[in-house]
Structure 1
Amino acid sequence: MTFEQAFPTYGPDVERIAAETGIAPPDVDRRINAAMNAAYLERAPAPAVVGPAPLVTKKLVRYAGYDERGSA
């Protein structure tokens, strides 16, 4: 089973996904955080056009292990 199959099936259960996929729990946790950040950014309202600054920016939410240079 791949992570893409396990995440929708088991939700954010790190230990269960790690057991089903054979991926180390810290890597599963990073993938879950990345998937949840991506889902949040898709749901975020569009920035307001009026005014000098947008109300919502598409900036990643920091989490343990987040690296601003990008994560693999």
Structure 2
Amino acid sequence: MADSGDQVISNQEKILANQGEIKSNQEAIIVANQEKILANQAQIKSNQEAILANQQKLDAIIANQEKILAG
């Protein structure tokens, strides 16, 4: 049976290994989240461009309706 000093060292080594694994996992999560953010930003930009195009179409329809009403 290991004495208490050896057990403390063993526990400290386990703690350090766990901390390293936690840090690695946190870094992987950050990278994955950054990739998701970039994808979301690209989708938002695409959506904004589609909204702008639709607004321009609506503006053209309104202009045509105004011409029709004006006779």
Q: Same fold (TM over 0.5)?
A: no
Determine which structure has greater relative contact order: mean sequence separation of CA pairs < 8 Å that are 6+ residues apart, divided by chain length: 1
TM-score range relative to shorter protein: 0.3 to 0.5
Q: TM-score, normalised by structure 1?
A: 0.32
